[in-house]
Amino acid sequence: MDQLQQLKQMTTVVADTGDIDAIRQFQPVDATTNPSLLLKAAQDPKYTELLQEARDWASQHGGDPHSRLESMTDRFGVLIGREITQLIPGRISTEVDARLSFDTQATINKAHQLIEQYEALGIGRDRVLIKIASTWEGIEAGRQLEQEGINCNLTLLFSFAQAQACAEAGIYLISPFVGRILDWHKQRQPDADFSFDKDPGVQSVSRIYRYYKAHNYDTVVMGASFRNTGEIQALAGCDRLTISPALMQALAEDQRPLEQQLADGMASTDAKSSLNESAFRWAMNEDVMAQEKLAEGIRNFAADQIKLEQLLAQA
């Protein structure tokens, strides 16, 4: 078997794309989208009909011009999600507007709107994960949504503190980023050896995985944001891994044996603990990498959300 097939035997493979053709080709269990991926999809001619469908829907359901634009972008994300759910057996992750990352109630309201749209299209909430940035406000929104039976994917997760808070909040799934952590360290240590398990992003996800399993948290760990296949190979056995089509293709072309690196029952050196808001914010303040990458990620997703709105606004 190739490495993608081997990986699927030990880890749930998730497609990190909004590309319908790639999802059809690689047959993942789940799929994730974000504003950057939706922006890319919106510029692909094969999604022209979905763009028009989103515009038509917004003209009927929107109010003032700003509300119509917001409705249009939400609808496009849901329509992409609808198409993807027809190709996968599992769940689609749909992201809340990054500009709501520091507003708990607004995030909850947006999640309700997205779920209502999916359910109106005949897609139950059991097929959807609401994707939220792992700010304190986002985690608190996730806590409330989980209590309502709306499962969440907490993304832009770079620190152990974020992972601790998500587990205590009862979040269904987290997306700890690997490649963006590596980017930060490589910028500061360009000559360092970050291969395989020396990769700081790999080390971060491995630590979180071990902590969750050792302390019996149900929250799913889904490694994300990969820069190379070595990072994926080093996390083989993680609950889930969300992988771009290019890296899935590279794994599919690799016939070497793939060794499982993570498994339930592994020990953790971290004692179980919970964080209140002040402790969480202090831990983030002390973690320069996590603080910088979280802020950068929110800014970049917000910028792509605005570009998507501008594209959708074009008649």
The question of whether 131 is a catalytic residue gets the answer: yes
The pLDDT of residue 312 is: 85
Does the pTM of the predicted model rise above 0.85?
yes
Q: Per the structure block, which two tokens stand in for 126?
A: 């059991």
The pLDDT of residue 62 is: 64
The pLDDT of residue 315 is: 56
**Bridge partners, 152 (sequence order):** 130
Given the residues 8, 40, 110, 131, the one annotated as active site = 131
Give long-range contacts, CB 8 A cutoff, 24+ apart: 299-307: 299/98, 300/36, 301/34, 301/35, 301/36, 301/95, 301/98, 301/133, 301/156, 302/35, 302/97, 302/98, 302/99, 304/34, 304/35, 304/36, 304/38, 304/39, 305/35, 305/73, 305/97, 305/98, 305/99, 307/39
The pLDDT of residue 111 is: 98
- Output the CA–CA distances (angstroms, integers) from residue 27 to 11, 46, 173, 230, in the order listed: 14, 20, 21, 21
Query: What residues in the chain have per-residue pLDDT under 50?
Result: none
The residue ranges of every structural domain in the chain are 3-313
Q: Which residue, among 43, 36, 42, has the nearest Cα to 131 in the 3D structure?
A: 36
The pLDDT of residue 60 is: 86
Q: Out of 2.60.120.10, 3.40.50.11060, 3.30.43.10, 3.20.20.70, which CATH number does the structure's domain 3-313 have?
A: 3.20.20.70
The pLDDT of residue 66 is: 77
